[in-house]
Structure 1
């Protein structure tokens, strides 16, 4: 085809005595017998239907059948021959996607008057169904309606109607190549599997931590370990080994339990110490009040008896002040002689 067209061009230039053009074209050589375009001279077609249609069977007792695929293939081959004839240079049935489909390649051969003769060229627009893809979809829909299939949505027409009416046009979905779709789907499934695995691992870790917390609490309640996780004195005395395995000490559950029990023990200890301080302060206040009464009574005694009472009082005061934690660091009133009866 390419050589035939080139020979016809040279013959035409020679016939018209275009010597310079003839020499130039001989140097350039043959040209492609089609108009350069982004899509090239050939076209690919894919005929398919919804996968649910192919899964239909004649009887509910039959789980799998190829009758729908055979019916579809018969109609597809007939449609290709009817509209493209010998220009169909390749066609095959594919099962590599979710739905059964027919893949065909069209080489649109045409004959045009050129260089004073008939020349063969590749011209996609020679076929009306290639020139207008919506017409091709209408043709396929009508052709396959005999086996119960219906043409898909007329999205292009819906967009045109919306624009003509001043409405917002519907979103036109972007077609994705099967290889690209499979790659994205595999990536999505891999990410989902990794997420599930990560969640399962976290659940196992939380369960282990919960088991460590319960084991720690049981051991503390039984008096086998203290709130720091160390063996309790009673457990050492009884020869009872620590129930908390050493391996568990490295877990988050063990650390969390130890921290919680430490906080509780500290809070309870502080509360107990506060109550003890209040009780001691109250008792010391009562003793001081009684001491004041003794002083008042002693002032009425003779000098010798007052000195004896003062000596006894200093001894008692020293012992009493030793019981009061708040008196630590203060000067000893018993040594200074303050408050002695005179």
Structure 2
């Protein structure tokens, strides 16, 4: 099977003079994101520049500012611009670069996937640094070939997860103004800073000799998608390692907190379940009633119903559940008894109604005197019936009228 092709990684980051001190503090592992640093590995190793490169760079930038300021004042004096001369002396030197959100310097990162550095043909050698040496030689050569003396610093970081190289470029350019040649800092003076895709092509070709390939050509993919009327791929935002680690630590902490909450919930449910089971066992054994009141001392060898357990949430919950069930059962029994009683009364009233109808039919056949006596008895009887069944009241009045009619 063919070996996997790993891309060479090139990243630029804007940098200003005020960032140099923080950069140096991190180089000496005194400041910044240090949580991922392996203290047992060698510290960063200088590749280009001196140990005092930072002080030298800041001093050079200050010198450029003062030289440019002096040339400007000389030019104003030569042209007899007294008012402007006075104003500029008060304002002081200006930065010798065009203001931008990136700053005048560039930090360069060169690396590859850690798996590529760990690959080795000699399996007997546990810590093979041949790949790091190859990469380092190519990286230093590429930096010098493309940026020359503007590479004022480069170092190799070997105490992190993957070997990588940091470099700082101070892009010096010369412009003619104030009647003289003045030095300025201009990143676009370097084609590989001005054109990011060209830089990716360059490192891809340069590192191909050691088996690495160019990274994904995203801009080309975007152009092709737009030319073909398709949606371009989503733009990626490079996340700095410190930012990624901070987000990853936050994500892991949240997962741990959620896991702890779930663990506690499960433990609480288990405790409640044990209390409920103990309560049910005690009820079924006749030790307590459904309300939790003791009936007789427990003679079983299971978990005793201790005072502490009686105050447990599960025990209380079980007692409430049993009490609620008992109330519902009692209510259902009462409802059923009432329904049965009402059914019996309805049956009896129906029988009485049938008998009343029979009496009414017989009364109609009797002489008028006897009908009157039967009517008086029937009115007393129907008063009791109507008290049981309101629906019978109308029938009683109607029946009474019918009965008294023939009199």
* Per-residue CA distance 1:134-153 (angstroms, 9 max, x = gap): 11111111112222222211
* Bigger relative CO (Cα 8 Å, ≥ 6 apart): 2
- Is 157-166 or 132-141 further displaced after alignment? 157-166
Change in Cα spacing, 1:182 to 1:264, as seen in structure 2 (3 Å) is: same
Calculate the TM-score normalised by the size of structure 2. Answer: 0.59
Other-structure match for 2:135: 72
Calculate the TM-score normalised by the size of structure 1. Answer: 0.69
- Alignment of structure 1 residues 37-52 onto 2, 5 Å: 37-52=100-115
- Is 107-116 or 59-68 further displaced after alignment? 59-68
Secondary structure of the residue aligned to 1:111 is: strand
| Structure 1 residue 248, shift from structure 2 partner | 2.1
Change in Cα spacing, 1:243 to 1:184, as seen in structure 2 (3 Å) is: same
Is 1:149 matched with 2:222?
A: no
| Alpha-carbon RMSD | 3.5
- Alignment of structure 1 residues 1-342 onto 2, 5 Å: 1-16=64-79, 21-59=84-122, 64-94=127-157, 98-232=161-295, 234-235=296-297, 243-266=304-327
| Structure 1 residue 204, shift from structure 2 partner | 0.8
Contact 1:44–1:106 under 8 Å retained in 2? yes
| Structure 1 residue 193, shift from structure 2 partner | 0.7
Contact 2:104–2:187 under 8 Å retained in 1? yes
Change in Cα spacing, 1:239 to 1:183, as seen in structure 2 (3 Å) is: closer
- Number of residue pairs aligned between Structure 1 and Structure 2: 280
Contact 2:278–2:303 under 8 Å retained in 1? no
Q: Within 2, Cα distance between the matches of 1:240 and 1:230?
A: 20
Change in Cα spacing, 1:147 to 1:168, as seen in structure 2 (3 Å) is: same
Give unpaired runs (5+ residues) of structure 2.
1-63, 348-407
Give unpaired runs (5+ residues) of structure 1.
286-342
Change in Cα spacing, 1:203 to 1:20, as seen in structure 2 (3 Å) is: closer
| Structure 1 residue 271, shift from structure 2 partner | 7.2
Secondary structure of the residue aligned to 2:212 is: coil
